[in-house]
Amino acid sequence: MSRTYRTVATLTALLLVGVILPGCSSQGTASPPESTGAVPGSGGVLDGASLVETKCTTCHTRERIDAASKDLTGWQTTINRMITSHGAQITTEEQSAIAIYLAGK
């Protein structure tokens, strides 16, 4: 499978997840805090590496995160579990950026 095809497939899957998952939430309508992970000068594109540092290392060491080997679906599942079971405050856009970053390491 070519890298371009994987990238398009990944972005398409993330778009679908971003559209479907928010409607499945039973957590109410509370909004997580504003994101601080945008890459400066990128028109609001989020930086997965920065988000891992600000969102994930509040509970996990960077070493633990880096030691995990998961594909995109595995990271999406893990991030969703952190939100639903442990109350992680991560927006849909942040979820996508973090999952893409971690799956690509």
Residue 29 lies in a domain: no
Q: How many domains does the chain have?
A: 1
Residue 30 lies in a domain: no
Residue 76 lies in a domain: yes
Q: How far apart are CA 90 and CA 21, in angstroms?
A: 13
Whether the pLDDT of residue 103 is over 60: the answer is: yes
- Domain span holding position 84: 45-105
Q: What is the pLDDT of residue 59?
A: 94
Task: Determine contact, residues 102/63, Cβ cutoff 8 Å.
Answer: no
pLDDT digits (tens, 9 = 90+) for 12-36: 555 545 544 454 444 444 444 444 5
pLDDT digits (tens, 9 = 90+) for 51-89: 999 999 999 999 999 999 999 999 999 999 999 999 999
Average pLDDT, the chain: 77
Task: Return the SS3 of 42.
Answer: coil
What single-letter DSSP state applies at residue 60? S
CATH number at residue 55: 1.10.760.10
Task: Determine contact, residues 97/37, Cβ cutoff 8 Å.
Answer: yes
Q: How far apart are CA 13 and CA 49, in angstroms?
A: 20
Residue 95 lies in a domain: yes
Residue 69 lies in a domain: yes
Residue 81 lies in a domain: yes
Whether the pLDDT of residue 2 is over 80: the answer is: no
pTM for the predicted model, two decimal places: 0.62
